[in-house]
Structure 1
Amino acid sequence: MRRAVIVMRRSLSGIVAGALCVSLAAHAQAPANAAAGASLVDAWRAVRIADCARCHGKDHEGLAAPSIVGFARTQSRERFIAAVLDGNPPMGMPAYRGNPLIEDRIDAIYRYFVGRADGSIAAGAMPPSE
């Protein structure tokens, strides 16, 4: 009986130690995930301040101007960034190159719209911060 108790204690110790390692590993990733989430929230706010919805619709899926979500779904990162930064003035799309609100957050803005395109970020919702 004593041997069984010792074996059980060792097994439980191993389980607790394993759970602790998993918990510590998840905690170590949390700051990186939180930073990524925070940059998406910041990008979402920048898009709202720039009022992209005025032309692209409430959920950026098209109105007077095409869907940004659809554009992110079908275009490369480079093409998406060039379209936002260079705009298309003859069609009414302003260029945001030199605008720190957009230019400083362009990678996160791209990730936000890719998240919208793949369904990991819901329409009308602020992206998760973690």
Structure 2
Amino acid sequence: MRKSLVRGAAFMLAASFAAYAHAQPNAAADASLDDAWRAVRIADCARCHGKDHEGLAAPSIVGFARTQGRERFLAAVLDGNPPMGMPAYRGTPLVADRIDAIYRYFAGRADGSIAPGAAPHGR
């Protein structure tokens, strides 16, 4: 009976640890999302896309991330749409070097896992 209690306790501890580890955000991912958020702020996307990037003079980036795939999002940001006033950021390291994290940030905004306004992880 004691062995089964020990095994049961070990199983519960392992399951609890696995659940805890799964619930804890990856520190590197957190840092890259925060870095992406800072890059978006520095690039001043809000100037055209609105304070929370949900549309102003230009369409909602959040809505675009919600309805378009990753490749389309990356192309829109990196290649821009100069006739419509959207600059291309392919040659801008601030944005181009962080494009995957920027996409993840806006995908998180689109699915509601990242709130508008403050940095994703409050840094």
**Percent identity of the aligned residues?**
78
Q: CA RMSD in A?
A: 2.3
Identify unmatched segments of 5+ residues in structure 1: 1-6
Range with bigger deviation, 23-32 or 93-102: 23-32
* Corresponding position of 1:115: 108
1:18 to 11, 35, 55: 11
Structure 1 pair 38/98, CA: closer, same or farther in 2 (3 Å)? same
Output one character per residue of 1:88-128: Cα deviation in whole Å (capped at 9) or x when no partner. 11222111002111111101111111111111111113213
Which residue identity is paired with 1:46? A
- Say how many residue pairs are matched: 122
In the superposition, the TM-score normalised over structure 2's length comes to: 0.85
Residue of 23, 32, 35 corresponding to 2:28 = 35
Q: Equivalent of 2:50, from 57, 62, 76?
A: 57
**Alignment partner of 2:93 out of 100, 103, 128:** 100
SS of equivalent to 2:113: coil
The whole-number CA distance in structure 2 between the counterparts of 1:102 and 1:21 is 41
Structure ranking higher on relative contact order (CA contacts 8 Å, 6+ apart): 1
TM-score normalized with structure 1 length:
0.80
Match of 1:46, SS state, is: helix
In structure 1, the residue matched to 2:79 is 86
How far 1:16 sits from its partner (Å)? 3.0
Provide the secondary structure at the position in 2 that maps to 1:80: helix
Change (3 A) 1:99 1:77: same
Residue 126 (structure 1) aligned with residue 119 (structure 2) = yes
Q: Which runs of 5+ in 2 are unaligned?
A: none
| Higher-helix-fraction structure | 1
Structure 1 ranges of 4+ moved more than 3 A: 9-12, 22-32
